[in-house]
Structure formats: structure tokens, C-alpha cells
């Protein structure tokens, strides 16, 4: 077991200084309590639960000695604490953050101050491909430009040749959102590629992609196993993102329809489909509720993978009218998931299996995959 000296201040990892097996038991107890009489399987954990985050956000600040740091917000506050030694962030990301701070100091690039609206360096967003080790770095600034940007980026890439692309993102707004609306690619192609199973996926800054690629494979394999797809099945993937579940399901069924409100994610999904030579998937950038209202093909299996807020009640009512045989619901928030399951139960659906996966070791969060079936 490794020890984190700032876990009480950070608050991100509630269980970082506990035995990992104990945290898995705590998470199982939490999900089982939410699900009540529904039997919940043991949590699928990791062999090595440290440095699993391949997606990292950090904010920049100066201390009282005018030294620049990259960090996270202290729990229940707006104070930043240094996170460059974080035990769950990828080691390579920690190294890049340290270099960014050192170079910013030497180039006299000031951190952005959210209170005054002055300064430059606001956030860093780092995404690391598990399959290639290549890095996408997004530098978020709160000014019109990054001083000495060419030299700054050149030095970063020289120090870390694994950086495949660098994007400068402009965020001048008073907001808690990390990324602003405008970006410029200043090095590389503006995206990286990762692999899940036998499939390649293109990841751009605005696209959703799981933080823990090792457990992502466990999640998707579990979901596909629960779906028990047949070659004659039509599959609907709701909140499909960049097509990870849809494209994973494609070889196992007749056709897949993916719907997602994020237009950039759909553009990436279509590129991922071509990248993998898959032809039996169609993607739509549309609101899911409106989409299924005009859907002229009744799917045999539906995958749901919504954000933490879960699915809306109007959407569930509309989906219930289709009288589907099977739903596989992937959720990063079991509390909203069980809320939605109760709405499905009103239409005759019953939980067949519930499997938690520890996608976020040492934190309070857990991913849960649930299969629901309905006698028709």
C-alpha cells in the first residue's frame, strides 16, 4: 500500500490510505444498499490500482514564493493544492505537469488568476494512450495568446517526446468548465489514437473517453457478455460517445444504431468506424428522446451509457413504449441508475444481473453494469 500525504486536503481519493481490498468491499456494500433486494455481484477490481488515470486535468497557481504549481482543488474549497505527485494520475502526466511548471517559470508565463481574470496559464488537460503511450496535451489559457508559445511547446516536446499533439485552448470565461469554445492545434494532428480490444479509437479534446482504459475493457466486455447478442439483432446504443460500445458490438450483431447529442463525438465515431473498417453501424448526432420517437426500426437490445445525471424520465417513458426484450445499462452513478431502473420496472423490466466495476480505484465512485429483461 502506498501513502498519500495530502489525501485529507485533496478529498478526491477517500480510500487512498486504506487496503485496496477493503475499498472494494466498501463499494460493494454501497451499491448493494442502493439496489436493496437486487443481488449485486462482487466488484471487479484492478491488479494494480495505482496511476490508472490516463485522463488528467490540472489547474495552475503561484504560491507565496511565486513558484508555479499544477494542482487540484482542495475538498469543499476553491484552494488549489499541488497534485504533481498524485498516486492515481498516470506517472507520465505527473512528469509533464512538473515540466510545464518549470518551463512556465523560466519563460515568465504567469498562472491565470480566476479572481482577478489576469494571467495566462489556466489548466492542462492530458490524455495518454494506453496502447501506444502517446500523449495529447491541451494547454488552456485565460489570455488571447501564450507568450513564447513556439519555444514553450518545443521545449515541452523535447523534454517529453511521447507528446504527439499539443492544442492551445482559449477559456476567458468565469466558469468551472475546463475547456473553452476555441482551440488551435499547434503541434501534431490534434488527436491521439487508443485501442480497446481489437478496435482503434480516435480521441480529440472534446470527446468523451473513459479515464481508466484497463477497466474500460472490463466494462465493455461485461456489457457485451450481458447483452448476449445474436447475429440477427439490431442494437441501439444511446449516449454512444465516440462509438466505443457500438463498434465493439458491431461484429456480434446484424446492425448497430448509435445516437449522441455531442456532434464532435459523432464525427469521431464515424472516423472510428472507417478506421476499423466497420460497415454495419450508423451514427446520429441528435437528442436521444427525439431520435427514438421517430425510430422506425425496433431494436432487439439497447445499451445505455449516460452521464452521471442518468437518463431523463421522458426518455425512459418513450423507451418503455418500445417494449424491448433487453436493456444493458452502464452507469458511473449507481444512485441515478437505480432511480432509472425503478422507472423501467413500472413497464415490466426486471434486473437480470448487476456487476460493479472499479473504474475509479480509491475514490468513492464505481461503475455499474446492469442487464434488464422483459417478457414480451
CATH number of the domain to which 98 belongs: 2.40.50.1070
Pair 339, 233 in one domain: yes
Kindly state the average pLDDT of the residues 104-115: 94
Read off the DSSP letter of residue 198.
T
Residue with cell 420496472: 345
The C-alpha atoms of residue 285 and residue 262 are separated, in whole angstroms, by: 6
pLDDT for 335: 97
**Each residue's pLDDT tens digit, 258-282:** 999 999 889 999 999 999 999 999 9
Kindly state the average pLDDT of the residues 138-152: 95
pLDDT for 174: 84
- What is the pLDDT confidence band of residue 7, given thresholds at 50, 70 and 90? confident
Give the end of a domain, one of 135, 169, 196. 196
Pair 243, 100 in one domain: no
Would you say residue 249 lies in a domain?
yes
Would you say residue 5 lies in a domain?
no
The C-alpha atoms of residue 14 and residue 8 are separated, in whole angstroms, by: 8
**Each residue's pLDDT tens digit, 164-178:** 999 999 998 888 889
Kindly state the average pLDDT of the residues 117-122: 95
Give the end of a domain, one of 196, 223, 252. 196
Q: Which of 15-19, 45-49, 273-277 has the lowest mean pLDDT?
A: 15-19
- The CATH code of the domain that includes 250 is 3.40.50.150
DSSP string, 272-294: HHHHTT--SEEEEES-HHHHHHS
The C-alpha atoms of residue 39 and residue 321 are separated, in whole angstroms, by: 27
For residue 144, count other CB atoms closer than 10 A to its CB.
Answer: 8
pLDDT for 3: 86
pLDDT for 376: 56
Give the SS3 label for residue 372: strand
**Listed residue (221, 220, 213) closest to 52, CA to CA:** 213
Q: Which of 5-9, 94-98, 106-110, 329-333 has the lowest mean pLDDT?
A: 5-9
Pair 248, 168 in one domain: no
Would you say residue 1 lies in a domain?
no
Residue 77 has pLDDT above 80, yes or no: no
Would you say residue 201 lies in a domain?
no
pLDDT for 297: 86
Give the SS3 label for residue 193: strand
pLDDT for 367: 97
pLDDT for 274: 97
Kindly state the average pLDDT of the residues 187-205: 94
pLDDT for 166: 98
For residue 253, count other CB atoms closer than 10 A to its CB.
Answer: 21
What residues act catalytically?
Answer: 332
Would you say residue 138 lies in a domain?
yes
Kindly state the average pLDDT of the residues 141-157: 96
Residue 306 has pLDDT above 60, yes or no: yes
Q: Which of 26-40, 177-191, 194-208, 251-265 has the lowest mean pLDDT?
A: 194-208
Range of the domain at 180: 55-196
- Cα 264 from chain centroid? 15
Would you say residue 344 lies in a domain?
yes
Q: Apex CA 276: angle with CA 274 and CA 277, to 5°?
A: 65
Residue 374 has pLDDT above 70, yes or no: yes
The model's pTM: 0.92
Pair 157, 267 in one domain: no
Pair 44, 178 in one domain: no
Pair 44, 59 in one domain: no
Kindly state the average pLDDT of the residues 20-37: 97
What are 93's three cell numbers? 502526466
Pair 233, 261 in one domain: yes
Would you say residue 306 lies in a domain?
yes
Read off the DSSP letter of residue 345.
H
Residue 121 has pLDDT above 70, yes or no: yes
Pair 181, 275 in one domain: no
**Listed residue (245, 280, 243, 246) closest to 265, CA to CA:** 243
Pair 185, 249 in one domain: no
Residue 83 has pLDDT above 90, yes or no: no
The C-alpha atoms of residue 86 and residue 236 are separated, in whole angstroms, by: 38
For residue 52, count other CB atoms closer than 10 A to its CB.
Answer: 22
The C-alpha atoms of residue 84 and residue 199 are separated, in whole angstroms, by: 32
Residue with cell 414480451: 376
Pair 222, 365 in one domain: yes
> E strand or H helix at 186, and its extent?
strand 182-187
Give the number of domains in the chain.
2
Read off the DSSP letter of residue 1.
-
Kindly state the average pLDDT of the residues 339-348: 95
Would you say residue 80 lies in a domain?
yes
**Listed residue (214, 204, 215, 212) closest to 243, CA to CA:** 204
Residue 111 has pLDDT above 70, yes or no: yes
Pair 256, 368 in one domain: yes
- Mean pLDDT of all residues in the chain? 94
Pair 237, 120 in one domain: no
Give the end of a domain, one of 130, 161, 196. 196
Amino acid at each position: 500500500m502506498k501513502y498519500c500525504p495530502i489525501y485529507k486536503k485533496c478529498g478526491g481519493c477517500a480510500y487512498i490510505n486504506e487496503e485496496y481490498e477493503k475499498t472494494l468491499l466498501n463499494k460493494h456494500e454501497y451499491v448493494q444498499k442502493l439496489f436493496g433486494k437486487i443481488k449485486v455481484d462482487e466488484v471487479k477490481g484492478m491488479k494494480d490500482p495505482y496511476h490508472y488515470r490516463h485522463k488528467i486535468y490540472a489547474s495552475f497557481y503561484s504560491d507565496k514564493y511565486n513558484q508555479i504549481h499544477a494542482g487540484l482543488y482542495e475538498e469543499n474549497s476553491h484552494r488549489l493544492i499541488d497534485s504533481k505527485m498524485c498516486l492515481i494520475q498516470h506517472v507520465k502526466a505527473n512528469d509533464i505537469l512538473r515540466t510545464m511548471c518549470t518551463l512556465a517559470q523560466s519563460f515568465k508565463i504567469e498562472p491565470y488568476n480566476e479572481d482577478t481574470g489576469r494571467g495566462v496559464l489556466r489548466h492542462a488537460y492530458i490524455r495518454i494512450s494506453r496502447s501506444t503511450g502517446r500523449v495529447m496535451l491541451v494547454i488552456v489559457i485565460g489570455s488571447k495568446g501564450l507568450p513564447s508559445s513556439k519555444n514553450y511547446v518545443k521545449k515541452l516536446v523535447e523534454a517529453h517526446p511521447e507528446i504527439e499533439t499539443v492544442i492551445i485552448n482559449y477559456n476567458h470565461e468565469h466558469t468551472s468548465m475546463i475547456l473553452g469554445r476555441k482551440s488551435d492545434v499547434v503541434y501534431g494532428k490534434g488527436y491521439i489514437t487508443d485501442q480497446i480490444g481489437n478496435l482503434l479509437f480516435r480521441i480529440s479534446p472534446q470527446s468523451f473517453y473513459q479515464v481508466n482504459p484497463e477497466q474500460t475493457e472490463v466494462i465493455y466486455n461485461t456489457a457485451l457478455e450481458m447483452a448476449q447478442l445474436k447475429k440477427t439483432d439490431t442494437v441501439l446504443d444511446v449516449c454512444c460517445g465516440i462509438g466505443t460500445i457500438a463498434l465493439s458490438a458491431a461484429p456480434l450483431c446484424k446492425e448497430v444504431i448509435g445516437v449522441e447529442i455531442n456532434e464532435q463525438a459523432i464525427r469521431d465515431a464515424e472516423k472510428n468506424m472507417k478506421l476499423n473498417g466497420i460497415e454495419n453501424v450508423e451514427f446520429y448526432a441528435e437528442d436521444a428522446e427525439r431520435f427514438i420517437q421517430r425510430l422506425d426500426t425496433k431494436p432487439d437490445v439497447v445499451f445505455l451509457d449516460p452521464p452521471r445525471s442518468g437518463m431523463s424520465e421522458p426518455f425512459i417513458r418513450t423507451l418503455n413504449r418500445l417494449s424491448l426484450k433487453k436493456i444493458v445499462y452502464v452507469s458511473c452513478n449507481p444512485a441515478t441508475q437505480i432511480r432509472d431502473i425503478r422507472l423501467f420496472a413500472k413497464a415490466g423490466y426486471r434486473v437480470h444481473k448487476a456487476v460493479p466495476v472499479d473504474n475509479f480505484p480509491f475514490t468513492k465512485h464505481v461503475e455499474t453494469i446492469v442487464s434488464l429483461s422483459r417478457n414480451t
